[in-house]
Amino acid sequence: MTKQAILGAREARGRTRAKAPFLRQGRRASAPTNGQTLEPRPELNGYYQTLSEALGPQHWWPARTPFEVIVGAILTQNTAWTNVERAIVNLRRERLLAPVAMERVSRAQLARLIRSSGYFRQKARKLKEFVRFLRRNFGGSLARMFRTPTEELRERLLAVHGIGRETADSILLYAGGHGVFVVDAYTKRILARHGLAHEKASYEEVRTLFEASLPRDTTKYNEFHGLIVNVGKNWCRTRNPRCEECPLKPFLPGTALQIAERTGRAQQAAPPRENLAAQADGVGAQSTLVMLG
């Protein structure tokens, strides 16, 4: 090999090392794979136990009926939940939180009522498409829809305009009690920072990771996702993460915590664990989730 070729190879190896994020001391998270599988992580059970003890029940998803869960799952796309809450209040006032009523109202009026959720015209169409799908395929009955086997129903939901993976899984888990784990941006951020998954892992990789690592328990899936949302909003933020105060600090790789401290992003020493739940902003505490039996 010529001297020029050797130098070129060394430079290429150096660029590769520079691009790979160091997530766990002495170990990197695996890159995404075509097979969409990640090694099970039994320690996720410890994450769940720690968060449950520190933060308590989350009562997530906040809704009064299964249909309200579905409406919220669609409206919360690309917006904060506080914006969705205002839209839900408007729909409840107009008595539109029922499939038949929502299908009958004009799309223009529906869009005006959900304006606070953003992208309101597109979301009005998505809501209309769902209630039409429900009527045509299940006679308007959510109970009948949710009796469909999980994988089959998931595929059918994904075929509805405006329903992606996270929305479909939220509908299945929170409205229908099906055993699927819901993945969101908070989930991916926490896993990446803790070295449990690559930052570019796909939705299906992360979902499969949780389902392979945890017992098939819809109540646990429900609660764990609510706890993750709480951590993502209050501690594991995109900017200025509060690593020192986070209830998951004992699980955080040392390198990641040192980086946060060096850049001045970690906050003061952690408060007593009994104060953690009070510090959180009450994610999902507005009301109790209603599940279909």
Q: For the chain, what are the domain ranges?
A: 44-58+182-271, 66-175
Q: Does domain 44-58+182-271 have CATH number 3.40.50.150?
A: no
Same fold, 44-58+182-271 and 66-175: no
The rounded average pLDDT for each run of 10 residues, N- to C-terminus, in the chain (293 residues) is: 44 35 34 59 95 94 95 96 97 98 98 98 98 98 98 98 97 97 96 93 96 95 96 95 95 66 46 48 39 36
Summarised one tens digit per residue, pLDDT across range 139-154 is 999 999 999 999 999 9
Superfamily for 66-175? Hypothetical protein; domain 2 (1.10.340.30)
pLDDT at residue number 108: 98
Summarised one tens digit per residue, pLDDT across range 246-259 is 999 999 987 555 54
Summarised one tens digit per residue, pLDDT across range 44-91 is 999 999 999 999 999 888 899 999 999 999 999 999 999 999 999 999
pTM, to two decimals: 0.77
Q: What is the per-residue DSSP string for the chain?
A: --HHHHHHHHHHHHHHHHHS---BTTB-PPPP-TT------TTHHHHHHHHHHHH-----S--SSHHHHHHHHHHTTTS-HHHHHHHHHHHHHTT--SHHHHHHS-HHHHHHHTGGGSSHHHHHHHHHHHHHHHHHHHTT-HHHHHTS-HHHHHHHHHTSTT--HHHHHHIIIIIT--S-----HHHHHHHHHTTSS-TT--HHHHHHHHHHHS-S-HHHHHHHHHHHHHHHHHTS-SSS--GGG-TTGGGS-HHHHHHHHHTT-S-SSPPPGGGHHHHS--TT-SS------
